[in-house]
Structure 1
Amino acid sequence: MTTYLSADELHDALTLRDLSNPEHGPHAMQELLGQVTTALTRRWGVVAKTVRNSPLVSVTDNYDNLGFSASTVTRDQRYSRYVSPTVMLRSHTSASVPGLLRNLPRTGGLDELVVMPGLVYRRDAIDRTHVGAPHQVDLWRICPSPALGPVDLESMIAVLVEAVLPGARWRTVPAVHPYTTNGLQVDVLVGSAWLELAECGMMAPHLFAEAGLDPEQWSGLALGMGLDRALMLRKGIPDIRLLRARDQRIGSQMLDLAPWQPVSLLPPIRRDISIVVPTSFDEEILGDEVRQALGERMDDLESVGLLGLTDCEDLPAAARDRLQIEPGQANALIRITLRPIESTLTAREANLMRDDIYRALHQGRVVELIAG
């Protein structure tokens, strides 16, 4: 049974500051996006049009009109945030594309770069590189002729990488998207590791056809990039929470693309919890449940992760007795790492946060709280 966002959850999502939007205040993310846009338009000699739509979209435009099948796993509420049976918070900025194509002139259109930045909403992990509402940009070159091809796509990738990470080595690997052909994932070499930067491909003919445009007379390039990761790589930022920090030592560094200068942060506080959960416990929803449990204190949490999951039948007898665990349940070991960026955290405050997470996740009969 699908559950929908509460009024408070929807309000929090819609009032979250969009770092890519100049109307919400200056941020380095805007400078990075501007450099990418300028580099592409100069290479192609086309104009750029920025489209900023509401993050509330129809489920049809987010999935069906882009070619996602009815069985696509990301439709599940474990990954997507639904407002009603027909409306959701977009899970990618590509959700703006079907409406954009429907509004294109049937003939005489411009060859242009459409820039679609903004927040997207997912049920994601909690760690140094993931949040539940990351920033994304879709960069689509839409041409009223069949002229664009794979060579243009490769050129787009090269220009993008140079704009984001000047001088970086990059590679592509095949990727499948329902709205592209010749799909690719773009990786960049950072240190000794290859990290994903973007995904791209040729616009699939069905996108034009479903918008009433002749796919024989139109062509396009589609590329999507996570702006948080791109900015973190460009500046060398180690923790995604720093992008929104209000501490003057940090916030002043988020106004330009100068390399990150480390500031003194408090040491981490770790708490491990042993809880009883259904055997069907899904790690994918762990992040969202913890976010809800902590509310406004969420920014003090650096990471949360599942260390182990053991079915009732596989536990030692002593552990089963202590937990009073039953068939159909499992013992989950979860590590919580707290590291406030802008304030101190006492041991008692850390214990209270641990207990709130424990209460939110634990489904056993024996309750073990530590805050007193």
Structure 2
Amino acid sequence: MYLSIPQLTAALSIRDLTDPEQGPHALQDLLDDVITSLTRAWSIPAELQRTTGLVATTDNYDRLGYAPDDVTRDARYSRHASPTVMLRSHTSAGIPAVLDSLADIEQPYDRLHVLPGLVYRRDAVDRTHVGTPHQVDLWRLNARGLLGEADLRSMAAAVVEAVLPGARWRTVPANHSYTSHGLQIDVETPAGWLELAECGLVRAGILRTSGLDPRRWSGLALGMGLDRALMLRKGVDDIRLLRSPDPRIAAQMLDLQPWRPVSLMPAVRRDLSILCNPDADEETLGDAAREALGPEAEILESLVIRARTPVEQLPAAAVVRLDAQPGQVNLLIRLTLQALDRTLTDTEANALRDRVYLALHEGHVLELAAG
């Protein structure tokens, strides 16, 4: 399950839209608004820290309090380079180094630490998910007075106001390995309540691990997906638009003005019938489909499992036709293909369909659209 050198190179070469050095993007404006809102509310400075996507597995999990058997560690959902190194699954992986850097500070301290960037996951393929979303961790660390739940709620209010000025919002309890009194922040949209971020008070154990005395140190931690936040702010309904090279679209991704719809090319649908491992799900299949398509993965709008049938429940004729093996499952999958800049021909759609099929199907009998 370890990534190859070409896979690592491809992942680390993906443009980070939050980084001004890689070109301007509206994500940077949104992040600036969030930072300004918090620093003004608290009258404290902010420190922005960018780190590499490759991190120690201990920083991504152990030092953030994740249990050894936590499902998030499963290699099916995370992307490991070796037993001890991985592509970070959240920007929180940079927090242990931040906390370590504070161990020798004796004077009063109160600062907002901002850690934005890409994270790497095996995720479903649809209009709101990609395998490399942008995230930001916002941690206020304080050594001159204990921070509490009132401070946490003021943090949530400042973030919501920066992302969606005037929006109604609410909080519901949430559990995190590195916080206590955790909250999920939801905002009201025309489609209903949607999650915007999660936050909590930094757990004493996380501070102690870095040599920080929780009787003196305290903190607030908030994590937010920046892609979703920008989509909500601008009214964009397809995450692929954030990276589109189409000039009509790209020009609109340079500011926070409301999205002005452009005429998109028609979608093409292709159905697949595949055999695979019973543990296969839309996250792992979506990741494999993206890998198979490479640079053309942006054409895949969605991958949906429409039916799941254990081989033992298939008609005898289907078992023979597919050469299905005991323990496998037969999945009916629908692919929706849509290029944002051109109309796909049937030949192109069939070729893309077959590349995904060959990557996902674990049977010997092949049913290829292109022949």
Q: Normalised by the shorter chain, which TM-score bucket? A: over 0.9
**Which of 50, 58, 74 is the matching residue for 1:52?**
50
Any conservation in 1 of the 2:304–2:334 contact (CA below 8 Å)?
yes
Q: Which residue number corresponds to residue 10 of structure 2?
A: 12
Q: Tell me the secondary structure at the aligned position of residue 151 of structure 2.
A: helix
Partner of 2:180: 181
Q: Secondary structure at the match of 1:232?
A: helix
Deviation of the 1:189 alpha carbon: 0.8
Aligned to 1:224: 223
What does residue 214 of structure 1 align with? 213
Distance 2:301 2:178 in 1: 35
TM-score (norm 2): 0.97
Aligned equivalent of 2:66 = 68
Give % identity: 59
Matched, 1:145 2:131: no
SS at match of 1:49: strand
- 123-132 or 273-282, which deviates more: 273-282
Structure 2 matches for 1:158-169, cutoff 5 A?
158-169=157-168
Query: 2-side partners of 1:281 and 1:54: how far apart?
Result: 30
Equivalent residue pairs, number? 370
Q: Which residue of 2 aligns with 1:42?
A: 40
Counterparts of 2:219 and 2:329, CA distance in 1: 50
SS in 2 for 1:32: helix
**1:182-241 Cα shifts (integer Å, max 9, x gaps):** 001111111141110000000111111111111100111100000000000000011101
Trace 1:258-337 onto structure 2 (pairs within 5 A).
258-337=257-336
Instruction: Specify the code of the residue in structure 1 equivalent to 2:323.
Output: Q
Point out where structure 2 has 5 or more consecutive residues left out of the alignment. none
Instruction: Quote how far apart the aligned CAs of 1:324 are.
Output: 2.6
Displacement of 1:129 in angstroms is 0.4
- Name the SS for the 2:339 alignment partner: coil
RMSD between aligned alpha carbons?
1.1
- What SS class does the counterpart of residue 294 from structure 2 fall into? helix
CA distance in 1, matches of 2:29, 2:219: 25
Counterparts of 1:304 and 1:126, CA distance in 2: 5
| Cα displacement (A) at 1:322 | 2.5
1:121 aligns with 2:89: no
Tell me the residue number matched to 1:361: 360
By how many angstroms is 1:85 displaced? 1.0
Contact 2:125 2:283 in 1 (8 A): no
Letter in 2 for 1:38: T
SS at match of 2:116: strand
Partner SS state of residue 280, structure 2 = coil
Q: Secondary structure at the match of 2:342?
A: coil
The residue number in structure 2 matching 1:31 is 29
The equivalent of 1:80 in structure 2 is: 78
Report what 2:198 is aligned to: 199
For 2:311 and 2:358, the matched residues in 1 are separated by: 20
Given that 1:124 and 1:132 are in contact with CA atoms closer than 8 Å, whether structure 2 keeps it comes out as yes
Determine whether 1:246 maps to 2:258: no
Alignment gaps of 5+ in structure 1: none
Rounded to whole Å, the distance in 2 between the matches of 1:120 and 1:280 is: 24
Residue 343 of structure 1 is matched in structure 2 by 342
User: Which secondary structure state, in structure 2, belongs to the residue aligned with residue 356 of structure 1?
Assistant: helix
